[in-house]
Copies of this chain bind each other. A is one copy, B any other.
Amino acid sequence: MAKISGRLGFKDGWFSETEAMWPGQKFSLALEGFSEEKSVLFAEKSDFQSIVVFRSAQYGNVLVLDGVIQLTEKDEFSFHEMMTHLPLFSHPDPKSVLIVGGGDGGVLREVCRHNCVEKVTLVDIDPMVLAVSRKFLSTATSFDDARVTIVHQDAAEFLADGVEGTYDVIIADTSDPMGPAESLFQPDFYESMHASLKEGGIVCAQCECMWIHLNMISDVFACCADIFDAVAYASTMVPSYPCGQIGFLLAGKGPDIILRSPCRTPSFQSHLKWYNPSVHRASFVLPQFVEDRLAPYTQTYLEDEEESDTMECFFSRCKLPSFLGNIFATHDSTLQTVGNGDRTE
């Protein structure tokens, strides 16, 4: 494995993300002591991607893959708690869990908090990500849990080779659809995940930023509304991700699944810093401009109705759009002229 020469993104004591997928904006973190020499803990190229870990001044250790921040020790909990506990607490009794990607161990840590889970399989194509995370991230803690099996393989191939109807929950903790995660944003992959779920199973997949990639999110939803019985978008805040926001696609196999409301509550609530049952419900309440775009595809929850989770599912015919190839072409323009302030009441 070659050392990375001319490390991308470091300059004058700061690390700045490359901004190919979010042009025109850039987030930067100060290095501890503003010193590249002292703060860069690891920088090599694996068979799949460049991997960098550095100590930041305010965000703890930071994992960077192909120039993009994957996690910081300071704020990773808002992502990993939500990505894990949204599907697991929406399922009445998850026993078998598959994690796609997730080599940094954050989702694994949260899954292992659930005593009902009997078996966790983590499929990450790149063993170096796991090795580096174990060594440098205080947040990567559960790789040695007796319930865990680790597989290094392309997850799309892994699922195609597997037995259908195996998992209660699949969590797709992927990087962005460039580089090794590209195959994990194809419609075929959502079909594979659907086939691999047991009846009553739930998928939760990283689903990008509503401010930048709403066209892509909408395409993914149109596609998954065809494949699954219910889909919904949940949102969380992560300061070190573009725009400070990232969303999740939740999708259920079976007619009676409620995604927007937990059916169990955490006995380990005192260990959580972000998730609680109210946060679960609130994360599915979307800003009006997002609601307007996703409403045709997502599980609608009429919160003003009586206690029961009344819902309707909409299906849209969808020609499995090649949304991946269109990411850059269809760069969203949320920038619109705002109403002229006319009194419209």
A residues lining the B interface (CB < 8 Å): 14, 16, 23-30, 56-60, 73-78, 108-109, 112-116, 138-139, 141-142, 145, 211, 237, 239, 242-245, 266-276, 278-279, 281-282, 285-289, 291, 303, 334-341, 343-345
How distant is the Cα of A269 from the Cα of B344 in the complex, in angstroms? Answer: 9
Given A28-B28, A239-B245, 5 further pairs, Cβ under 8 A: A16-B28, A25-B239, A74-B334, A138-B337, A268-B344
Q: Which residues of B contact A340 (CB under 8 A)?
A: 141
A80's nearest neighbour on chain B, judged by CB, is B338
**For residue A274, which residue of chain B has the nearest CB?**
B287
Taken together as a complex, chains A and B put the C-alpha atoms of A272 and B345 apart, in Å, by 12
Copies, count? 2
Partner of A142, one of B27, B56, B211, B341: B341
A95 to chain B, nearest CB (A): 13
CB distance from A78 to the nearest CB of B (A): 7
Instruction: State the main secondary structure of chain A at its contact with B.
Output: loop
Is A335 within 8 A of B60, CB to CB? Answer: yes
Complex: how many Å from CA A182 to CA B46? 51
CB of B291 within 8 A of CB of A276, answer: yes
Query: A97 CB to closest chain B CB, in angstroms?
Result: 14
21 A-B pairs within 8 Å (CB atoms) are namely: A23-B30, A24-B30, A24-B57, A26-B29, A26-B30, A27-B27, A75-B211, A78-B287, A113-B343, A113-B345, A115-B343, A211-B239, A237-B237, A237-B243, A237-B287, A243-B244, A244-B245, A268-B344, A271-B344, A273-B288, A273-B338
Query: Of B24, B237, B271, B286, which is within 8 A of A56 by CB?
Result: B24
Of the listed residues A138, A237, A289, the one surrounded by the most CB atoms of chain B closer than 10 A to its CB is A237
Name the contact of A274 in the complex, choosing from B28, B73, B115, B288 (C-beta under 8 A): B288
